[in-house]
Structure 1
Amino acid sequence: MKNIGITALGMYVPERVVRNEDFEGRMGIEPGWIEARTGMRERRFSAPQEFASDLGVKAVQDMLARDPQALDGVDQVIYATCTPDAIFPSTAALVAGQVGLTGAGAFDLSTACSGFVYGLSMARGQVLGGVARKVLVIGGEVLSKAIDQDARDTAILFGDGAGCAVVGEVPDGYGMQDFVLGADSAGGPALSIGHVATQFPNGLPLPAGASMNGREVFKFAVRVLGDSGTEVLEKTGLSNNDVDWLIPHQANVRIIQAAAERFGIPMEKTVVNLAKYGNTSAATVPLALHEAVNDGRVKDGQQLLFVAFGGGLSWAACTMKWWAGAPSLKPAAEAQA
């Protein structure tokens, strides 16, 4: 069987920085409360005319600046997002047309915060099945445009950003090993952003904007992150002691701490960057991976474990042996040397 892994990485976050103080003063929130409860200090907001496709294009451009040949052979584009530019055309197609991939297959994937890991699974399957040679997978969001900025329970949590990866063949011994994907619509009312429908299939109302039951989401997240991560390690034939880095969805530092404790993986081996970016939904995993690769934490041959949860309610986990043989997969200091 072919070995399929990540062959290139890129990322982009908007220029505008929104700090906790910007919410605390306006909403009457006690100073320090947001960071204490979430671990977040700031997040990025996109410009008024900057949308998911724009963020995706800039993430790809960042990748190409490090590796001009990164898109060679790419014949499919997957954009994981819950804030697409439009219902159609797909945001993936809009990005493809701007980065020289016109004619490539392109589609959007909607599993919210689990989307990037879902996208890696889809890409691996397409390459293994011979449908594609390489696949560009993007996770990106402009949640600042979808969230009511006066809603205290959600506005403080979410930010904008995008990360991308090219998925293709890698040398023997490297690449993606196993996946666990799941969803349970019964939990949908706990975390949703409405659009066309006005109610769920069970008759419960579907709010037009973002809606979240924080307590229920917290309990769900800790459970499924632990369960899915444990399951994918067992499928791969690994234990928690084999994991060099846990790279989780960046939703809340308390959720990450609880999940890491459940795995028995110390926080010192867990990548956390939500203090800078907040919850960027489908972008959190690629942003965290890119940062850990860029600063030299993630090294060639290390064992990675990705875990994520999101609206749907959905979850995803992946094991991967990291290959660092391409220019954008090396630490920034090494690449500049």
Structure 2
Amino acid sequence: MAGRSVVVGVGHYLPKRIVPNSEFEKTLDTSDEWIRTRSGIERRHFAAEDETTSDMATQAAKAALADAGLTADDIDAIVLATSTADLTFPSAATMVQANLGMTRGFAFDVQAVCAGFVFALANANALILSGQAKRILVIGAETFSRIMDWSDRTTCVLFGDGAGALVLEAQEGAGTPADRGILATDLHSDGRFKDLLYVDGGVSTRTTGYLRMQGNQVFRHAVEKLAATATTALDRAGLTSGDVDWIVPHQANIRIIQGTAKKLQLPMDNVVVTVQDHGNTSAASIPLALSVGKERGQIKPGDLIVTEAIGGGLAWGAVVMRW
């Protein structure tokens, strides 16, 4: 027998405001066609003025708990992946903890930008396997609309806001790749590539800053690194890409998603794609896609899933799990 972290519930939240590509045509030298052909994005959601990352995370958490048939009292920990927390401190995770009425356990944020949810999932898995917690809410939530330079047409059209969450529960497995739950994880970062994707401000520099990205360079790193980390995670699980039912990738750009699937020799029919509706929601994109994929009837119990993501840092990684 072997301990496994099994997904027992999933949920998501999207802000009410939907922003189609056409809205950017009024203020920028861009077009719906230009945005679609380069990114695959058609629309995205933006948080309301009074809506914060912890607000959206709370809604996604409630949806995941309802899906699992659990309450906040059943949860031992919250791990929240975000780069856009409400305040410098405390963590957005503790705000979600309070919002849920959860007075026990512990909560903390993970910051690995677009790779944040993969890092959060790997850490939550380790907490469960070490016996620190039995049930963990793992959340990805972002309000990237707050860090956009609205005059930079190469970046501001790509990002959106939202939140996704899942509940991981400690269960016993046989210790084989047929087990439900997280089967393998693989994490990487390389700080030499900071200048490819960063925000040019922060607390210790006493500025706020905007997102800056060298899109072509990020693209060049993305496909190769994502395919490699997914392959490594599959190897660790004793599986191959031929065993995969679904790739649920970070939803940044349709061309990166297509390129990664091709390298893994999997057809796009085996990829959950939500980028057209959500844009790049950073750490929220994978849990959003998992929740939407389940809602659509794509992801079913027993399916083998690979999630992979790359973001600022550069930070990247993959998780292999059986639903």
Q: TM-score, normalised by structure 1?
A: 0.90
Instruction: Indicate which of 186, 192, 197 corresponds to 2:192.
Output: 186
Please list the CA deviations of residues 59-111 of structure 1 after superposition, one character each: whole Å capped at 9, or x if unmatched. Answer: 12223444442544311111100000112111000000010212321111000
What's the CA shift for 1:230?
1.1
User: What is the one-letter code of the residue matched to 1:185?
Assistant: G
Q: 1:102 to 1:150 in 2, by over 3 A?
A: farther
- In 2, are the aligned partners of 1:184 and 1:312 still within 8 Å (CA)? yes
* Consecutive unaligned residues in structure 2, runs of 5 or more: 174-178
* Consecutive unaligned residues in structure 1, runs of 5 or more: 200-205, 323-337
The CA RMSD over aligned residues, in Å, is 1.7
* Matches of 2:268 and 2:125, distance apart in 1: 29
* Matches of 2:16 and 2:161, distance apart in 1: 10
Q: Is the counterpart of residue 4 in structure 1 residue 5 in structure 2?
A: yes
What's the CA shift for 1:250?
0.3
1:195 alignment partner in structure 2? 202
Please list the CA deviations of residues 240-295 of structure 1 after superposition, one character each: whole Å capped at 9, or x if unmatched. Answer: 11000011000000011111101101101011111000000000000111111112
* Matches of 1:177 and 1:34, distance apart in 2: 37
Please list the CA deviations of residues 97-129 of structure 1 after superposition, one character each: whole Å capped at 9, or x if unmatched. Answer: 010212321111000111111111111111111
* Matches of 1:225 and 1:105, distance apart in 2: 31
- In 2, are the aligned partners of 1:52 and 1:84 still within 8 Å (CA)? yes
* Matches of 1:300 and 1:55, distance apart in 2: 27
1:228 alignment partner, SS class: helix
User: What is the one-letter code of the residue matched to 1:38?
Assistant: S
Please list the CA deviations of residues 28-66 of structure 1 after superposition, one character each: whole Å capped at 9, or x if unmatched. Answer: 213411001100000000000101000011112223444
User: What is the one-letter code of the residue matched to 2:309?
Assistant: A
User: What is the one-letter code of the residue matched to 2:290?
Assistant: L
Q: 1:96 to 1:135 in 2, by over 3 A?
A: same
* Matches of 2:32 and 2:73, distance apart in 1: 49
Aligned ranges for residues 70-89 of structure 1 at < 5 Å?
A: 70-89=71-90
1:25 alignment partner in structure 2? 26
1:248 alignment partner, SS class: coil
* Matches of 2:121 and 2:128, distance apart in 1: 11
Q: Is the counterpart of residue 279 in structure 1 residue 286 in structure 2?
A: no
1:251 alignment partner, SS class: coil
* Matches of 2:71 and 2:226, distance apart in 1: 32
Please list the CA deviations of residues 141-189 of structure 1 after superposition, one character each: whole Å capped at 9, or x if unmatched. Answer: 0000111222211110000000011111245321100110010001111
Could you tell which deviates more after superposition, 70-79 or 261-270?
70-79
Q: Is the counterpart of residue 176 in structure 1 residue 182 in structure 2?
A: yes
Q: TM-score, normalised by structure 2?
A: 0.94
- In 2, are the aligned partners of 1:70 and 1:166 still within 8 Å (CA)? no
2:166 alignment partner, SS class: strand
1:162 alignment partner in structure 2? 163
1:148 alignment partner in structure 2? 149
1:7 alignment partner, SS class: strand
How many residues in Structure 1 have an aligned counterpart in Structure 2? 316
2:176 alignment partner in structure 1? none
1:254 alignment partner in structure 2? 255
- In 2, are the aligned partners of 1:301 and 1:321 still within 8 Å (CA)? yes
- In 1, are the aligned partners of 2:147 and 2:209 still within 8 Å (CA)? no
Aligned ranges for residues 279-318 of structure 1 at < 5 Å?
A: 279-318=280-319
* Matches of 2:158 and 2:89, distance apart in 1: 28
Q: 1:31 to 1:57 in 2, by over 3 A?
A: closer
* Matches of 2:65 and 2:6, distance apart in 1: 18
What's the CA shift for 1:312?
1.0
User: What is the one-letter code of the residue matched to 2:232?
Assistant: E
